[in-house]
Structure 1
């Protein structure tokens, strides 16, 4: 039987404004992100064959949908691109109503099994369908439901157990800031699945201690998600974030729930899901989350809300949100929890610059990126410092400052030494893309920088 041209797929690619080579490149980026190495060789000819009626196989339809979803800013399903409906294994068992303890133990154990983790990554991709925030009634009922969880161990939980979880989280958080999210993940996953998670089903003497335990475990779970996010393992990060938010809800810890929803919004912005990002960021700004947070945490939630607004193109509301975040940080009284100790004026400037950049205001974005670089404690926050330098270099080149941008990019590469992070890798890839249009001009500094970037990518894989 003759193949029938897939007009729906052709229409979506045209709507994205892509040529077939650009569509293939975007597809390969998503395939690489989820560990589907066999699909990173997809080329223009594959796209052409799919448009001409050849059916993509395996995980290709799912990755193709996610690629177009990110570009178009709305959910794209297989039927939207002329393909048969497929089961989305990325969402199996991971909805908001799944058993928290079971899911947490399984996810942590999977993270320890490197071969299994690679298989999970190959089988799943970031799920837009999982981003819907539960109804207010779900959040209200969560603490009571957790309080009746069946006890599987008669070992009594003590305040020292909670302190141990919090101290371990602080240690790994500091390491993440210095070394990147890829370093130390297995050790954190081991502590989470083998030490922290079993306590949730142990005998807890009081409701106050139960909530403290759940809150501490939620922070550790959030950190595991953040490290996965930094490693570009986005579906795994999403699963950890969802579990962390559920634990925070079960602890009735509104500010922590807001903190985690803010991280999910940040991830959605980075993956070009602006509508979902704004929903998540708006949820983080609820009265029982933003309203109960410390001033420093209010500023963090507020500036990510600004980033989500910028992603949707709402200039007026973005600028208003930036101003509110600045006022909130100015009112900081030093009583913020450890999880926001990283967030100071350098971080606020970085996120402000990102929002302005996304609105197209490159001049002011450059100003704020420079302010962030100048004020950050770079030895403590080495990973973020290198990313900020990369973003600054990109903006400078986009504004026509080739010499300055190349100099900044070289500083970024210097700052990446010893860091293991997917986000720093993304900066290097962006660097190559920025330099590609000017490589033919013969500038020695461009050629040297491009070669240095290639060598670093080869080193980090």
Structure 2
């Protein structure tokens, strides 16, 4: 038996109060015992339906082992055809299929073809519920094992994203009537904004669970019927929360899960009609690919963002997209294309006015452009120090002059980059001084990206072990990375 075949539980069994209570409490010892007694299913039949071993079912029924795995709970729901709401889950795929297969009659011309329009808003709500619930029920160690998979690349990543360019399509499904008003939506928007600002400053995902809890709440509101204006804004809040969850997951090394939340953010921005934020999400996905040394995938993601938001993106967003484009070119060694894209970013930023664009792009100013450009020139300098190291140092100094320690993660990355520039230029005195400043800045953030960059600075100190100041700087890096 699998998730596509009917289950064997009689409807009246699921109406029993003792069965419903056991399922709601995830007491599967009691639930399985009741299913055996009143449902007529043997232990082997339960095991087969849920893709468990008979021995596993036996230990569950005897109380020797509890079911804590979200994946196993989903297998039980699908195998025995237990509706998701009885287990605190979102509606299972076989439930939503049965609803869509027997809709109220409507004119042929008005009925959407779900096979041709897979980017349905209600599917986005289901995805949000699944992702957040699976994250929230797992402990830290289990999450690290389950979620830290390698990022998807190539066509497997890019092809499913083409739906972002298509019009939003809704399909009707029965929903409870919601009572959310504009004021409540404004409060949710304020919370999403606060989480985003916190992550931008500190990184590291210390409040990731709080973001996921808020995201789960928004998904629950969207599972109800809301008036169109409220629904649209809720999808936009979902997009922003999912985008923050993605950067937090990525910043803590959960690459695969970060992609899942990026995809959720993209789908939510699509459902909410916010193509500009969708372009920002694609830029975040591109940045992840660049850190994963997949510049061609990154370039394709940036071009997809530019195509979708070309007519609505403001100058700051366009400038940011050009810097991602330049980053990809630098990683590919295409120096002329890098300089061209960087010039386009600078020209676009000249036209920027803070009142014209969303709050979330306000961070992209001259300092951000200089820091990003300096980082890319540093990559080129590692191959040709004489040609690019001084230019990289100049851009990074320009960034540091315009944003200080309050920038948190960005400030630390600038300091680390400048220290590397000094090493490449052969200036050990300046390199040691900047390394100490870099360690000071890095110690104030929980970002794994900062620690990874600090780890890349460490080898520059190894070949100069005879110099005591360099050894002292190296010891400080090692002490911080070992904590």
TM-score when normalising by structure 1: 0.73
> Could you list the per-position Cα deviations for residues 73-132 of structure 1 after superposition, in whole angstroms to 9, with x for gaps in the alignment?
xxxxxxxxxxxxxxxxxxxx9xx869322222222223333243123135x221114421
- For residue 152 of structure 2, the aligned residue among 121, 127, 133 is 127
Aligned to 1:223: 244
Match of 2:184 in 1: 161
1:37-48 superposed matches below 5 A: none
- The 8 Å contact of residues 369 and 391 in structure 1, kept in 2 or not, is answered as yes
Could you say what secondary structure the match of 2:301 adopts?
A: helix
Matched, 1:458 2:482: yes
- Tell me the equivalent position of 2:267: 246
Tell me which of 388, 392, 402 is aligned to 1:365: 392
In the alignment, which residue of structure 2 is the partner of 1:409? 435
Relative contact order, CA 8 A, sep 6+: which one is greater?
1
Q: Once the 2 structures are TM-superposed, how far is the Cα of residue 345 of structure 1 from its aligned partner?
A: 1.0
Look up the match of 1:291.
311
The whole-number CA distance in structure 2 between the counterparts of 1:265 and 1:210 is 29
Q: Which residue of 1 aligns with 2:20?
A: none
Work out the CA distance in 2 between the residues paired with 1:149 and 1:245: 22
Q: Which of the numbers 268, 279, 303 marks the counterpart of 1:282? A: 303
1:377 CA drift (Å): 4.2
Bigger radius of gyration: 2
- Residues 236-272 of structure 1: per-residue CA shift (max 9 Å, x gap): 2111111111111222221111101011111111110
Q: TM-score, normalised by structure 2?
A: 0.69
**Match of residue 445 from structure 1:** 469
Alpha-carbon distance between aligned partners in 2 of 1:163 and 1:323, rounded to the nearest angstrom: 38
Q: Distance in 2 between matches of 1:412 and 1:151?
A: 56
Map 1:297-316 to 2 at 5 A.
Answer: 297-316=317-336
Deviation at 1:140, TM superposition (A): 4.7
Q: Give the count of matched residue pairs.
A: 355
Matched, 1:328 2:348: yes
1:110 and 1:400 map into 2 onto residues whose CA distance is 50
The one of 282, 296, 311 aligned to 1:261: 282
Matched, 1:205 2:230: no
| C-alpha distance in structure 1 between counterparts of 2:175 and 2:464, whole Å | 63
Are the aligned partners of 2:443 and 2:480 in contact in 1 as well (CA < 8 Å)?
Answer: no
CA contact 1:169–1:220 (8 Å) conserved in 2: yes
Tell which deviates more after alignment, 355-364 or 412-421.
355-364
Deviation at 1:422, TM superposition (A): 0.3
Q: Distance in 1 between matches of 2:277 and 2:174?
A: 25
What is the aligned partner in structure 2 of residue 12 from structure 1? none
Distance 2:404 2:481 in 1: 26
Return the alpha-carbon distance in structure 1 between the equivalents of residues 165 and 311 of structure 2.
16
Cα RMSD after superposing both structures: 2.1
Counterpart mapping for 1:168-187 below 5 A: 168-187=191-210
Q: Is the 8 A contact 2:413 2:453 kept in 1?
A: yes
C-alpha offsets along residues 283-309 of structure 1, whole Å, 9 cap, x if unaligned?
1211x4143112122211121111112
Gaps of 5+ in 1: 1-92
Provide, for residues 433-453 of structure 1, a one-character-per-residue CA deviation record: whole Å limited to 9, x for no partner: 2212222xx111111111111
Alpha-carbon distance between aligned partners in 2 of 1:163 and 1:353, rounded to the nearest angstrom? 38
How far apart, in 2, do the equivalents of 1:238 and 1:394 lie?
Answer: 30
Cα 1:110–1:392 change in 2 (3 A) is: farther
Residues 229 and 237 of structure 1 are in contact (CA less than 8 Å); yes or no, is this contact kept in structure 2? yes
Distance 2:427 2:462 in 1: 15
Contact persistence 1:181–1:421 (CA under 8 A): yes
> Of the candidates 233, 241, 244, which is equivalent to residue 254 of structure 2?
233
Question: Which whole-Å CA distance do the structure 2 matches of 1:168 and 1:367 have between them?
Answer: 37
What residue is the counterpart of 2:423 in the other structure?
397
